[in-house]
């Protein structure tokens, strides 16, 4: 999450506030240690019931406004609201059964995540796979801690979760502060700050004026915006695919002939940038060879080529099956990144593929996006806004999974959708619901007035008819 916050806010914004961020991180870790120690003996001073009530209110409030979201945002709000309500109800029920159920839920989540991280790291063998394996082992250790009853027989489950959240949040803030302290450029966007512009015409486009703007939905078809094109594995399969839950969404689809389709991703802007990396020589994707080509090692590097434009690629293959469009991006930063990135045409199925190229280009394009929207007048509003946006957590989890496994079209699609909510912020659910309610009331009043006017005219007509009849 640290690198993602650096990307969204930009180094210039964070460098002037690194001391405050560092202080908050240290306080968060200290508070987490107090909460964790308090829970060890089972006699909790932590206000568990008020905390559960706050969780329940937050869950109910989220469910109340979930229907106002757009697409994936709506689904995310329903998931968040349901999760908060379920956890709060288990706490309020109390007793050994509620605490035991919570321990099983949290422990299983850590166990599954840690196991997947270890397996993917050992299979892919990217540069820092040993560090990722150690992180997976730590998650499994936390899962075991939740599973076993010692020392409090599950009475401190919620307090432990709060403590771990404070630990990890504080550690992330400390890392963020120490990294931006002396930075002149953002290392989270590799290559963007090192490349010089070769053509002045490529940098004539300034970032859009989006300060204080809240967008009520995705860009219109005729609106200038960055577009992420995704060909899903199922949608790009040559023959009828064999449906496999999750696998054909995020990894690959296998058709009835046994051919593996991994899908594709590309990025396009109105300024003429088109990033679509493809192997110059077709890679053997048979089931027997596929596991070998997954390794992010030098022997799996092959020559690659960049497609000229979307019209050519869609005409020679097929149109993209999903598109994500973003208004708030920086064409100049993207052009600098693209100028440096296209000099190397190496293709690797795992660590340098079409999806990883799009993800890195997207990060270069939206660097500082949140600061551009919420940074007018200075202050902490940009940081508070993105921290309060659920899509930040989703984008961070997708990025983490891709970093420990590999970028795939499915992960790129989810990542682009989450970043679009952060770069082009949507209105608050309560604001949108209030606006819809006011509009509904206004339309109702207009309808009532029209009905009253029609009724009055009908009465006048009937009175006139009766008067003529009496004569």
Q: What is the mean pLDDT of the chain?
A: 79
d(CA 376, CA 214): 13
Predicted local distance difference test score (pLDDT) of residue 222:
83
Largest separation between any pair of C-alpha atoms in the chain:
106
Predicted local distance difference test score (pLDDT) of residue 207:
53
Tell me the pLDDT band of 210, cut-offs 50, 70 and 90. low
Torsion sign, CA atoms 384, 385, 388, 392:
negative
Please check whether residue 345 is in contact with residue 306, taking contact to mean a CB–CB distance below 8 angstroms.
yes
Q: Which two tokens stand for residue 293?
A: 């080509």
pLDDT per residue as tens digits for the range 165-191: 889 889 888 988 888 886 655 554 544
What DSSP designation does 220 have? P
Please check whether residue 327 is in contact with residue 219, taking contact to mean a CB–CB distance below 8 angstroms.
yes
Nearest residue to 223 (alpha-carbon basis) of 240, 233, 210, 236: 210
Residues, the chain: 471
Torsion of CA 133, 117, 397, 265, to 10 degrees: 110
Q: Which two tokens stand for residue 284?
A: 């053997």
pLDDT per residue as tens digits for the range 294-335: 665 667 778 899 999 999 999 988 899 999 999 999 999 999
pLDDT (mean) for 207-234 = 77
Predicted local distance difference test score (pLDDT) of residue 80:
77
Least trusted range by pLDDT, from 187-191, 258-262, 376-380, 413-417: 187-191
pTM confidence score: 0.74
Tell me the pLDDT band of 287, cut-offs 50, 70 and 90. low
pLDDT per residue as tens digits for the range 99-155: 888 889 889 989 998 998 888 777 777 767 788 889 899 999 999 999 988 877 788
Predicted local distance difference test score (pLDDT) of residue 331:
93
E runs forming strands in 215-347: 226-231, 241-242, 253-255, 260-261, 264-268, 274-275, 277-279, 302-306, 322-326, 346-347
d(CA 6, CA 8): 6
pLDDT of 49 strictly over 90: no
Q: Which long-range contacts (CB under 8 A, 24 or more apart) does 250-258 make?
A: 250/408, 250/410, 250/411, 251/408, 251/410, 252/290, 252/408, 254/287, 258/286, 258/287
Predicted local distance difference test score (pLDDT) of residue 308:
93
Share of the chain above pLDDT 90, in %: 21
Higher pLDDT, 51 or 211: 51
pLDDT (mean) for 70-87 = 74
Predicted local distance difference test score (pLDDT) of residue 73:
57
d(CA 63, CA 455): 41
pLDDT per residue as tens digits for the range 265-278: 999 999 999 999 98
Least trusted range by pLDDT, from 42-56, 137-151, 270-284, 376-390: 376-390
């Amino acid at each position: 999450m640290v690198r993602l916050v650096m990307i969204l806010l930009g180094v210039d914004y964070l460098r002037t506030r690194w001391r405050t961020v560092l202080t908050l991180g240290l306080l968060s870790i200290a508070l987490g240690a107090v909460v964790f120690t308090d829970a060890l003996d089972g006699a909790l001073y932590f206000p568990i019931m008020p905390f559960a009530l706050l969780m329940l209110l937050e869950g109910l409030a989220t469910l109340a406004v979930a229907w106002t979201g757009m697409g994936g945002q709506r689904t995310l709000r329903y998931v968040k609201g349901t999760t908060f309500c379920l956890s709060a109800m288990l706490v309020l029920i109390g007793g050994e059964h509620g605490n035991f159920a919570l321990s099983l839920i949290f422990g299983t989540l850590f166990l599954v995540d840690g196991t997947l991280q270890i397996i993917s790291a050992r299979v892919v063998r990217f540069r820092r796979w040993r560090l990722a394996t150690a992180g997976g082992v730590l998650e499994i250790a936390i899962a075991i801690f939740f599973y076993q009853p010692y020392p409090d027989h599950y009475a401190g489950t919620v307090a432990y979760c709060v403590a771990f959240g404070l630990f990890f949040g504080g550690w992330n803030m400390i890392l963020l502060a120490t990294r931006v302290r002396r930075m002149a450029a953002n290392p989270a966007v590799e290559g963007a700050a090192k490349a010089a512009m070769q053509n002045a015409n490529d940098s004539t486009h300034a970032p859009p004026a989006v300060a204080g703007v809240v967008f009520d939905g995705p860009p219109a078809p005729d609106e200038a915006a960055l577009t992420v094109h995704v060909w899903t594995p199922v949608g790009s399969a040559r023959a009828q695919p064999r449906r496999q839950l999750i696998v054909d969404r995020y990894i690959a689809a296998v058709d009835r002939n046994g051919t593996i389709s991994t899908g594709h991703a590309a990025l396009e802007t109105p300024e003429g940038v088109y990033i679509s990396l493809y192997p110059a020589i077709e890679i053997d994707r048979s089931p027997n060879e596929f596991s070998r080509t997954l390794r992010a090692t030098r022997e799996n590097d092959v020559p690659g080529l960049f497609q000229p434009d979307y019209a050519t690629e869609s005409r020679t293959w097929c149109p993209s099956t999903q598109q994500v469009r973003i208004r708030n991006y920086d064409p100049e930063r993207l052009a600098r990144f693209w100028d440096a990135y296209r000099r190397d045409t190496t293709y690797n199925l795992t660590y340098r593929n079409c999806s990883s190229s799009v993800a890195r280009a997207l990060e270069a394009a939206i660097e500082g996006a949140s600061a551009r929207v919420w940074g007018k007048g200075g202050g902490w509003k940009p940081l508070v806004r993105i921290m309060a946006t659920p899509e930040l957590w989703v984008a961070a989890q997708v990025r983490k999974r891709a970093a420990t496994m590999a970028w795939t079209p499915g992960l790129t699609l989810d990542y682009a959708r989450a970043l679009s909510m952060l770069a082009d912020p949507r209105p608050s659910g309560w604001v949108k619901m209030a606006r819809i309610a006011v509009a509904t009331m206004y339309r109702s009043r207009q309808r009532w007035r029209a009905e009253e006017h029609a009724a009055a005219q009908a009465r006048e007509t009937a009175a006139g008819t009766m008067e003529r009849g009496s004569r």
